[in-house]
Amino acid sequence: MGESLIKNRSLLVLILITILIPYKLLFQDYANSLILLIGVIYLLVFIKEVKVNKKYFFILLSISVFAIISLFFTNSLTQSMQGLAIYVGSVIFYIILEDGKEEKANIINWSTYALALSSLFYIFIQGAILKGGVLANRIDGNIGYANTYALLLLVGVYFNNIRENKFLSDIIEIILIIGVLFTGSRSTLFYLGIYVLLMIIINWKKKEQRFLNILNLIIAAIIYALIEKGGVGVVFILPIALIIIYPVLNSIHAKYKNIAAIVLVALSVPAMFLFNTNFAQRLKGVSLHTGEFQQRIYYFQDATKHILKNPFGSGINSFQYRQVVDQCAWYDVRYIHNSILQVGYDIGIIGMILFISLAIFGGIVVFKSKDKNKYLYLSIYITIFLHSLLDFDFAYSITFILILMIFVFNNDSTDILNLKNIKLIISVPTLIFSFYISFVSSCYYIGDKLSNTGSYLGAINVYKIARGVMPVDSDIYLKLGISYNYQYRQTGDENMVKEAIDSFKRAEELNPINPVVIANLAFTHEAIGDEENTNYYYHKLISTEKYNYDAYKAYYQYLNKRFNDTKDEKYNKKISELQQVYAENISTIREVVKKYFGEMPRSIS
């Protein structure tokens, strides 16, 4: 096997790994770290010259520089470094894809097959058997988040039409669309509709193919409804049905396909609602005034305030614990649900402007492309960015890699970077970083698995290894503290609770605004009867999470228990003070905000 063939096969394997890696099983941060590690190893082994579009490359590089700078502002070093892997990985994978662009046809072909097989697998496992992934009745695939998985399948639909090899094209499109429907992603269905309209426009002059994509969409919708209602039995019939459908579709004259599509469109929409599928129920709830949509608007407003106050960013993945600082009401989400604001929150205003510039520059290059499929490329390119305005798609490496793919496949301007040893300058530090963060992430992953199965001592030993190589990360001390706490509950060993408190306090020193750390300190001191520290940390908790009813209730229950045990009136006085603080804080929530986040109880009980 020749060197070139080995390289090309390795590139295809690398791309398939980025598409199929189980983000959900490994947790996305760990998966992102592993993707970077595998990518930089490929770069070192196979790439001899760094050929890039210099403008695009230096925008990517600049974004990565600001991402690195943001590490100085983070309170959670490991999570920020895991997020950094996406930004650094964008540079590495851009170099890889520019070098391997001659394999464009194979990359698109095999990516399409991989996505179709993924869709088929999760339709069977999550759609028919488990009746959902993380959320009931919605598949989320290897991603673990239904909306982003739907976007990934939609990219597959586009790639299926772009690829030169049309083998099983209609069946693949149907399978991918069924997958999209099973995700229950309403925004992705909207963009799927745009795809169908675009295909009608593109094929308008080809009178034989005007409505074929509508026909595929309707067939997919019918099969989806049958599987959702019929379960596993229908899935076993599905391959036979598709084998029958495929030659029938090919044998029907285009004129009759067009007529069939129009008739089916007229019948399918009411039929879908009559079937009362999960997707139909979700479509009925579509409105700009729904609580879910309006809540995201308030996330955006709160995040914008924070970005303006912190123009250099707050650290990648910091929103999950910093959100309490600027909240207009109580919510607890990991991401802002807007990738542009997320970038600004994480790495600052300049980084956000560079990210927007990257999107615009890439879009212009695709628009000016001479590729015959440039409008399909441009449509999916724009779709990815628009989709991410209401979601966190760029939290997964694959989304950035897909954007890079689309740019590279339409970019005709590349130069060899003649800087001395540029490959080593880029790849060696990246290899060290990726190995380091992958090792720490592995320890976290193994430790979490052990802790979740009750093997707390094993988890503690693994976390200690991570602490040895990452001694200034608050998360490792939080994880250690939680495992020590559980071990104390199992054994009653007071040394364990002492270790737990020491670990939590170290986590507090490194990240003083993380409410999870503060809550654990309050609960642990309560468990050992340390009244002074219990009161201190409960006060700190409610001042940090001033809209979190559960925080007030936990403190209220503690004070009420102390009063019942001692009959000391000082506890009743503290309860009255707590009720007053609670009333004052919730009075600052605007009425319009309460409408979408829910009315909080008037008092604690």
Looking at residue 277, its pLDDT comes to 64
Rounded average pLDDT over 471-476: 95
Looking at residue 232, its pLDDT comes to 74
d(CA 380, CA 371): 15
Encoded tokens for 285 = 């709830």
Cβ of 595: how many Cβ atoms within 10 Å?
Answer: 12
Per residue in 33-63, pLDDT (tens digit) is 999 999 999 999 999 889 999 999 999 999 9
Closest CA to 545 of 332, 345, 346, 342: 332
Per residue in 481-509, pLDDT (tens digit) is 999 999 999 999 999 999 999 999 999 99
Q: Judge if pTM exceeds 0.75.
A: yes
Per residue in 449-469, pLDDT (tens digit) is 999 999 999 999 999 999 999
The H or E element spanning position 298 is helix 291-309
Residue 524 in contact with residue 536, Cβ under 8 Å? no
d(CA 437, CA 441): 6
d(CA 77, CA 59): 24
Rounded average pLDDT over 9-18: 97
Q: Is the pLDDT of residue 274 over 60?
A: no
Residue type (1 letter), 475: D
Looking at residue 495, its pLDDT comes to 94
The H or E element spanning position 52 is strand 51-52
419, exposed or middle or buried, with CB in 10 Å at 0-12, 13-18, 19+?
Answer: exposed
Mean pLDDT of the chain: 90
Rounded average pLDDT over 24-31: 94
